[in-house]
Amino acid sequence: MQFRDLREQHRRLKKEINSAVLDVLESGNYIGGKHVQDLERQLADFVGARNCITCANGTDALQLALMAWGAHEGLAVFVPDLTFFSSGEVVSSVGATPVFVDVDPRTFNMNPIKLEEAISSVKTNTDLVPFAVVAVDLFGLPADYPAIRDVCKKNGLHLLEDGAQGFGGSIKGSKACSFGDISTTSFFPAKPLGCYGDGGAVFTDDDDWAALIRSLAVHGKGEMKYDNVRVGMNSRLDTLQAAILQKKLRAFAGYELASVNRVAERYSEALADLASTSDIMLPFIPPGYTSSWAQYTIKLSQDLNRDLIRSKMQDAGIPTMIYYPKPMHSQRAFEGSSICFEGCPTTSLLCDSVLSLPMGPYVSEEDSNLVATTLNRIIRDSASNW
């Protein structure tokens, strides 16, 4: 069994994708052009944002947003302590200081109460000026935007949605990547909507920011390519990847998103017994929210030996992953250049007890059942051995 099977999807879309790729190869146009423009329109429509600017990857997308806002040294940017490294890395890349905020013990997303506490601690205990919040849609579940947006408004902070894992999720019918003042996503192959390499996108309703980001992504271009009015970067989505993504977006919106939600439902039903005895905690989706299930991540009881469970799962041919083994505040790269008030204990606990199961729209009923029965057996066996 694969942790995330990308080959099955390719098998199903092969004909369409091969012909889209050939079209691009024969067109002689490999950067920009109609495929990129059309894809940007289709992505913006799907998400419900006025503007979409594609770029080279999800990390650049975040950095472009912070650059457009003029983030710099002396500013504090609030980032959840449980996320992929990029969410905090970009803050340091533009010279600002990441302030890590603890997460909610049920959703694993940024805790809005902890966010408020961190903002007032920065104001009273540091010389930094609170500037922006990077909220992450971890594992496909949108962050608590109703509450986080209020906190941002009250404190005059920009809100950046890191939707790298969130593309396809929703809150009360509004789609992920429409919740930030600027929102971003990644098309890394294993993300909910992936391409065949690296890719990313920025979304915003603000036309001025959109124009600025378009310029920043192409060496700070002005009226034309060889008129450079600011220092930017070189971050574009390849035409080939845009052509591939057009086909994949259709499959994603047409059936993959529904399919991955059925896989999640099957897991949650099959694991309900283990949850009822508190051996594990199932993923929690708050009312009104939907997830795009970038990961299906359970939390193991502290009595259980995670390493042993993982190795027994592996023996049974079932790969599992740990997202994430380390809180952001413990990453050496941030040592001495970041802040974490009170140590973020919920994140630390989660890093020691989370376990992600094989996931994706093409996980068969047979495989999801096998994963659940195997996990049931391993946990029940380990209990009876003590």
Q: Which residue ranges make up the site for ligand PLP (CB under 6 A)? A: 57-59, 83-84, 86-87, 136, 162, 164-165, 186, 188, 198, 200
Smallest distance, ligand PLP to C-beta of residue 120, A = 26
Instruction: Confirm if 304 and 298 have CB atoms less than 8 A apart.
Output: no
Work out the number of other CB atoms within 10 angstroms of the CB of residue 369. Answer: 13
- Whichever of 139 and 378 has its CB closer to ligand PLP, that residue is 139
Q: At what angle do helices 58-68 and 86-93 cross, to 10 degrees?
A: 40
Gyration radius of the chain over CA positions: 21
3-class DSSP assignment, residue 85: coil
Pairing of strands 289-290, 170-171: antiparallel
Could you give the CA distance from residue 292 to residue 195 in angstroms, rounded to a whole number? 16
Hey, what amino acid is at 291?
A: S
Q: Please give the structure tokens belonging to residue 371.
A: 């994963």
Query: Residue 200 Cβ, how far from ligand PLP at the closest point, in Å?
Result: 5
Specify the residue, 84 or 341, whose C-beta has the smaller distance to ligand PLP. Answer: 84
In the complex with ligand PLP, which residue's Cβ is closer, 5 or 89?
89
Q: How far is the CB of 60 from ligand PLP (least distance, A)?
A: 7
DSSP H helices in 109-144: 112-125
Nearer to ligand PLP, 46 or 187 (CB): 187
- Smallest gap from residue 111 Cβ to ligand PLP (A): 17
Q: Is 371 helix (H, G, I), strand (E, B) or coil?
A: helix
Closer residue to ligand PLP (CB): 55 or 75: 55
Write down the least CB distance from residue 199 to ligand PLP, Å: 7
Shorter beta-carbon distance to ligand PLP: residue 83 or 290: 83
**Considering Cα of 145, then 147, then 150, then 151, what sign does the dihedral take?**
negative
**CB nearest ligand PLP: which residue?**
58
Return all residues near 385 (Cβ < 8 A) that are at least 6 apart: none
Please identify, using beta-carbon distances, which residue of 40 and 198 lies nearer to ligand PLP.
Answer: 198
Which secondary-structure segment (H or E) carries 241? helix 239-251
C-alpha closest to that of 111 among 339, 346, 371: 346
Least spacing, CB of residue 91 vs ligand PLP, in Å: 12
Cβ 164 to ligand PLP, closest distance in Å?
3
Residue 24 or 135 having the CB closest to ligand PLP: 135
Q: How far is the CB of 139 from ligand PLP (least distance, A)?
A: 9
Minimum CB separation from ligand PLP for residue 56, in Å?
8
Residue placing its CB nearer to ligand PLP in the complex, 136 or 152: 136
Question: How far, in Å, CA of 12 to CA of 62, rounded?
Answer: 32
Token pair in block for residue 379:
């946990």
DSSP letter (8 states) at residue 256: I
Q: For every residue of 18-50, which 3-state class applies, written as one string?
A: HHHHHHHHHHCCCECCHHHHHHHHHHHHHHCCC
